[in-house]
Amino acid sequence: MLGGGGGTAKRGLFTPGKRRRMNIVAICLNIFVPWILFICVFATLSFDFHYKHPGWAWFLVGIAVLMVLLVGFTAIQSKRRERDPMWYTFATVAMAVAVLIAVILGDINYRSNLAPYYDINNLQVYEDVKPELDKGQALMDAGKVYFTAGSQIDTTRSVGFKNGDLYCVAPIIKAGAAMTTYDFWAVGKNCCADRADFRCGEYANARARNGLRLMHDEDRPFYRLAVQEAEAVYGISSPHPLFFYWMQDPLGEQKAYRDDGYKYFLLGVFSHFAFNLFCVLCATIGFSKLGRTY
């Protein structure tokens, strides 16, 4: 890969009459360096470091981008010095692709799995909540709520609000109790009709009487609109609505967010290694035909 002087053939180029030698070091570096960079960026954006220190997380992503630019600058300098820049060029592209994919997948993994897990983990757990007596204002910091026996979904007062997806809400009530306000709502997407038909979460599970807090902020305004529609249609009051996924085991569901995040991360790590290894093998074959791998 280093250039020689005068009429001496440059290393890294195929020279007739000389035994060809594969540049193992360059190949190994291009297999592992982009992969390690991918892992670092993917992990930084996926896990609790991003949650606790978002500014520093993106700063580290910026450092990774600078590394890519540095390798690209090295490739340019190598060509100016009449050295073969092919592996440097490949490394620049491979590292850039690794950072780009890691940023996209890391952000998806964080927003879909790990951020909801960390959010719920930082909220409070409330037990023996009485939907007919307790008010939403007193449980604004609830992450997991365990309602008293006899609590259920009132499917007769459910509403679906259409905005692309169908945002479904149904009040959580105490069977046979007089309700003055309806502050606790079971929610779900595309699992109901416009009126009095709610099939979201574990609605058919007789043992389900608990809630896991909705943590996707982008959905909350549409559920609020659905609640406002329910207030108007059924003549009920919900001054401080809180939204929950209706289920039997909120803690298990919370852990599922974390487990899905780890599975997604491991899948991304091994998939990228296979992809990058394939690209390196293709580059090795291609460069050998050009006489630039040896």
* pLDDT of the residue at 289: 77
What is the average per-residue pLDDT within 243-266? 96
Residue 46 identity: S
Q: How does the average pLDDT of the chain come out, rounded? A: 90
Euclidean distance between CA atoms 146 and 153, whole angstroms: 14
Query: Which phi-psi region, left, alpha or beta, contains residue 40 (left: φ > 0; alpha: ψ -120 to 50)?
Result: alpha
* pLDDT of the residue at 227: 97
pLDDT of residue 183 exceeding 80, the answer is: yes
pLDDT of residue 257 exceeding 90, the answer is: yes
* pLDDT of the residue at 79: 74
* pLDDT of the residue at 13: 34
Question: pLDDT of 77-131, one tens digit each?
Answer: 877 775 656 888 899 999 999 999 999 999 999 999 999 999 999 999 999 999 9
Domain segments of the chain: what residues?
24-121+255-290, 125-248
Up-side HSE of residue 275: CA atoms within 13 Å toward CB?
14
Report the share of the chain in percent with pLDDT over 90: 79
* pLDDT of the residue at 22: 62
Question: pLDDT of 32-74, one tens digit each?
Answer: 999 999 999 999 999 999 999 999 999 999 999 999 999 999 8
pLDDT of residue 10 exceeding 80, the answer is: no
Euclidean distance between CA atoms 183 and 140, whole angstroms: 11
Q: What is the DSSP letter of 110?
A: I
Full-model pTM? 0.81
A 10 A CB-CB count for 3 gives: 15
Euclidean distance between CA atoms 249 and 279, whole angstroms: 45
* pLDDT of the residue at 3: 40
Euclidean distance between CA atoms 211 and 126, whole angstroms: 10
* pLDDT of the residue at 7: 42
Euclidean distance between CA atoms 23 and 170, whole angstroms: 65
